[in-house]
Structure 1
Amino acid sequence: MPSRNRQIYFQETIRALIASTRSDLEFVFADNSDDATIMPAFVSGLAADARIRFLASPEKQLSMVDNWERTMAAATGRWVAFIGDDDYMDPDLADLIAAIEARVPDVDAIAWNRLTFHWPGARPHEMQTSIPTGCRIVEVARDDLMRKTFGWEGAGRVPNFMFSAYHATVRRALVEENRSRFGNRYFEHPVVDQDSAFKIISTARRFVFSERPFSVLGACPTSNSAAMGRVDDNARRHAEFMADLGRNMDQDAVLADFPFPSAYGVAAAIGASQHWFRKTYGLKHDGWEENFARSCAIDCESAASRADFEISRARYEAGFRVWKDGRFLSAFSPVYTEPGEAAGAVFTGITPLLVHLGERFAGAATPRELYDAAAGMMTPAREIPVPL
């Protein structure tokens, strides 16, 4: 779990994780904060927990990609999973990993559904999360993943894939193989979760997916996800990210023929990181452009206001007019919806495959509390059948 300047959430998530009594886990906590004194003082009180490996803030703060790099390097487990400092992951996931390994010895990547949680202040009103009613374990073919990832098949704002080292887990042996295969680093591209996903999906032997959730994607007021839909907030956080990186990655030469800077939105950021991967490693995948244009339209439609929508639409439209002779401009057709048309009380109840809850269900004030409340509706990890 890498962290930067979010010590309150970092500490809360550490408490939630180490509350587990399991002894077959290792927790790597990497602080990268401007104030280097807060977290060492906190972790010193946990010195008796042999599962903890703490990486203190360096004298000069690292970029995100370099902080993730040292976090991966410090981990020694046979399987590795990353989460953010405002997230949560169930330590009992280890039981499922062991059960899947027993049935599929050559599995390299395991993923699962996730719940969502917005910390107080991240959104002006309560958001909704959904719990799958089943607990199926299924194998996913690489061809399907390639179409969904690099072909943007069936994508919303982003491609529908979950296999990476982030809120999913990868066999350490594959991590080391990919380090040698790709740039002699664990993470190369600054959009680290995408960098991880592209490499794992391109190289893993077998992929297994759990319908049952095992983690919570958190969003605190300073998360990048909390700025989604708000152009000014996104621009500020984008500038901070580039300052930490030490360069504007949107100006990298490899992106000269891709007129969608990551500052435009989440679809553009993923598109740019994919373009980098394609060009750097010669990946060939045809027929993705129209699907990408539709995702950019959906990205615009998530705008927080009419003004934000118009700014986002104009940026993307300008890119599509010049990209590949404008061939995909017609697929980019965002439609603005007034907030009043979409706003309303959080929907709760059951649809055929999901239980829908407000994120404050049962008084939850943290991702761990939401997960624990939801766990009462989910099959325990040790009881999940793995009929592979």
Structure 2
Amino acid sequence: MPKYSIVVPTRNRIETLKICLESIFVQPERDMEIVVADNASADGTESYVKSLTDSRVVYTRSDEPLSMRGNWTRALQRISGDWLIFIGDDDALMPDFTALAELVMRKADVPIIAWNRPIYRWPSFAGEHERNRLKFRVGTTLKLVDSKAALKAMYQKFIKPFDMPSVYHNLVQRSLVQKITEALNGYPMSISPDMGSGILNLAYSDRFAQFDRPLSVMGYSDGSAGSAFKYTAPDSQQRNAFTSLEPEIDELIQRYPLQGLQSVEAMVFRILKDMIRFVRQAGIEIDCDLHGFADWHVRRIGFAHPDERADVVAKLHALCTENGFSDIVIPSEITNEPVGFGQQMPFIVADKAGTGGFQGQIDFSHTPVADVLGAARVLKGMLPDLK
């Protein structure tokens, strides 16, 4: 039984997959399995993975396209490691992933290890002004977080719904997944496996470790689900390619109408609402605070695609009016400049972010770096070795 199971779900992104796998192959740890969960790719992924000589690789393939949850659930059934982590096929592990993981394990006896995740936007990323850039916040602080308190803060005030300690870009003990599976007769991850698994992990654990030092880098390329909704038009090919495999999206919208809001934030509310039944089975009485959701969504209006902002504003107005949320001020006009698309950045901009930490953004457009692994290596070179 290996110590680590590194799971890489993939679908028709062989070029980024190669870079992702390289970031895993360079790990010195031999006591690991690398599970490539191929979701019916038709771009040569199967022959490529089968040609690999690294004995740690485990290949599993679906002959028919599955939803994201379907592919992730299938992959979970194949793993055997003590610790597991899912990363996307355009993501990367940091070069010192296993060394840092071992460091945290020596200091904290917890079933989940989470960390600040740098974001690298590939040259193929939909938002042209953000391409080939790495955004990061790093430090050396390791803290223990109360799982139930974090869960309640998310349901009531929507604090960090995108940063839950899920199986995605976090290390999770397989024993915790097994515990949840036994309690619920499965590991139900909702239509968003990262959010769904994060909710389950919080509900069924007491605490988790949060490390300011990254163990992985999240990549956004042209096929990323997140960028499909934030940076492409509603009828774009990229967005349609994603939603065509997720028939449950329409079902969730009908179950929780929210004035017909179809934003990413509205889907967060629907997923949280849909997962409540599993949280309550853990003995936690909780519900989504609609006022907290509306207040959070208003502060994030600028994240919507410019073509959708007027519709989002109108529907938020209707939602607040219907529920008497007169204290929530909704701006009447939103700039059409996409959030985060500002002036060209210099090579690196960094400022202090607490003791022993800093945050910044690196623009690689005038350097040889052009992929997520190159960005991870540059970031590793900026950081001190930890013992």
* Shorter-normalised TM range: 0.7 to 0.9
Q: After TM superposition, give the deviation of residue 360 of structure 1 in Å.
A: 1.6
- C-alpha deviations, 1:339-360, integer Å up to 9, x for none? 2997212263331212422242
**Contact conserved, 2:118 with 2:134, CA < 8 A, in 1?**
yes
Report which stretch shifted further, 74-83 or 351-360: 351-360
Within the candidate set 265, 268, 279, 2:266 is matched to 268
Counterpart residue identity of residue 44, structure 1:
K
Distance 1:359 1:273, change over 3 A: farther
**Cα pair distance change 1:280/1:252, threshold 3 Å:** farther
**What is aligned with 1:331?**
328
Once the two structures are superposed, the pairs formed by residues 143-182 of structure 1 within 5 Å of their partners are 143-152=148-157, 155=159, 159=161, 161-182=163-184
* CA distance 1:59–1:187, change in 2 (3 Å): same
Partner amino acid, structure 1, of 2:120: F
Q: Which amino acid is the alignment partner of residue 174 of structure 1? A: L
Q: What's the offset of the Cα at 1:168?
A: 0.7
Q: Quote the residue 2:98 is aligned against.
A: 94
In 2, are the aligned partners of 1:87 and 1:218 still within 8 Å (CA)? yes
The match for 1:376 is 381
Residue of structure 1 equivalent to 2:76: 72
In 1, distance between residues paired with 2:222 and 2:308? 19
Matched residues in 2 for 1:266 and 1:227: separation?
10
**Residue segments in structure 2 that go unaligned for 5+ positions in a row:** 1-7
Once the two structures are overlaid, the 10-residue window that deviates more, 357-366 or 288-297, is 357-366
Matched residue SS, 1:170: strand
Matched-pair contact (CA < 8 Å) for 1:13–1:85? yes
Unaligned residue ranges in structure 1 (runs of 5+): none
| Equivalences for residues 129-144 of structure 1 within 5 A | 129-144=134-149
In the superposition, the TM-score normalised over structure 1's length comes to 0.84
Kept in 2, the 8 Å contact 1:80–1:165? The answer is yes
Which residue pairs with 2:4 in the alignment?
A: none
- Worse-superposed segment, 91-100 or 333-342: 333-342
Distance 1:258 1:332, change over 3 A: farther
What CA distance in whole angstroms lies between the structure 1 residues aligned with 2:219 and 2:94? 14
- The answer for the alignment partner of 1:113 in structure 2 is 116
The Cα shift of 1:211 comes to 0.4
| 2:44 paired residue number | 38
- Partner letter of residue 118 of structure 2? L
Displacement of 1:52 in angstroms is: 0.6
> For structure 1, which segment, 330-339 or 71-80, has the greater mean C-alpha deviation from structure 2 after superposition?
330-339
1:223–1:55 distance in 2 versus 1, CA, 3 Å: same
CA deviation digits over 1:40-83, x for unaligned, max 9? 2112321x311111112x23222211110111111111111111
Change (3 A) 1:351 1:103: closer
User: What is the identity, as a one-letter code, of the residue corresponding to 1:102?
Assistant: R
Whether the 8 Å contact between 1:115 and 1:213 is mirrored in structure 2 is: yes
Aligned to 2:21: 14
Give secondary structure in 1 for the equivalent of 2:250.
Answer: helix
After TM superposition, list the pairs within 5 Å mapping 1:205-284 onto structure 2. 205-230=206-231, 232-233=233-234, 239-245=240-246, 247-252=247-252, 256-259=255-258, 264-279=262-277, 281-282=279-280, 284=285
How many residues align structurally?
367
Q: Determine if contact 1:138/1:209 at 8 Å carries over to the other structure.
A: yes
Which letter maps to 1:294?
A: D
CA-to-aligned-CA distance 1:290-339 (integer Å, 9 cap, x gap): 3311221233212343x4311222233334444xxx13364261451352
Secondary structure of the structure 1 residue equivalent to 2:157: coil
| 1:228-252: CA deviation from partner (whole Å, max 9, x where unpaired) | 445634775555444323x343324
Secondary structure in 2 aligned to 1:293? helix
Corresponding letter in the other structure for 1:327: G
One-letter code of the match for 2:174? Answer: R
Secondary structure of 1:125's match? helix
Counterparts of 1:208 and 1:215, CA distance in 2? 15
Task: Report if aligned partners of 1:195, 1:273 keep a CA contact under 8 Å in 2.
Answer: yes
RMSD: 2.8
CA contact (8 A) 1:117 1:359 kept: no
| Cα distance change of structure 1 residues 340 and 21 upon mapping to structure 2, 3 Å threshold | closer
3-state secondary structure, aligned to 2:219: strand
* Pair 1:270–1:264, CA change in 2 (3 A): same
Give 1:276's aligned amino acid. Answer: D
**1:120-176 deviation per Cα after TM superposition (whole angstroms, max 9, x unaligned):** 1312123554443521111112244124322235x4xx5363311111111110011
Q: Return the offset for 1:199.
A: 0.4
Post-superposition Cα deviations, 1:202-239, rounded to whole Å, max 9, x if no partner, equal 11132101101121111111212223445634775555
